[in-house]
Amino acid sequence: MELKIELLSAIDTVTTLEKQKIVEFLHEHLDQYGDSKEDIMKALEYALSDRPGQGGLVLLGQDEDTIATCVVINKTGMSGYIPENILVYIATHADYRGKGIGKKIMKETIERTKGDIALHVEANNPAKFLYEKVGFTNPYLEMRLKKNQ
């Protein structure tokens, strides 16, 4: 297997079909830790946006024509008190897990991202150990208030 990692950002022309393929991949391989296809598309379009105050990057790891792994980073537009970037999604194809691909794409993501990176991970998510291996720490307890809509 030869993993080819491609960086996608606002300067790239990513077709609707390519975006849909990425959304389908993330929706399937995020397993129980994922979101709706609509929300994944919003994050993807934000990352690929050239509008002021938006942007980010997408790293796509492919083995020939198969997406093996994908990361979506959104810029927060802040620095100092909030990290400049948030890792919104990372997923590895079920058939490629346990082969070091997650660690490889995380290291590549860290190298290519300007500024600090935050992420949210559920305590029981096995990927938590990968994040710790590449340098993420958990100095805060996140709390959320969800208003009824």
Give the pLDDT confidence of 35-82 residue by residue, as tens digits: 999 999 999 999 999 999 899 999 999 999 899 999 999 999 988 888
The CA-atom distances, in angstroms, between 6 and each of 49, 52, 105, 134 are: 17, 24, 10, 20
Q: Does residue 87 contact residue 102 with C-beta atoms inside 8 Å?
A: no
Expressed in angstroms, the distance from the first to the final Cα of the chain is 47
The answer to whether residue 31 scores a pLDDT higher than 80 is: yes
Question: pLDDT digits over 121-136, tens only?
Answer: 888 888 888 888 999 8
pLDDT of residue 139: 81
The per-residue pLDDT for 149 is 64
The second-level CATH assignment, the architecture, of 4-133 is 3-Layer(aba) Sandwich (3.40)
- Give the residue with greater pLDDT, 30 vs 141: 30
Say whether 39 sits in a helix, a strand or coil. Answer: helix
Model pTM?
0.89
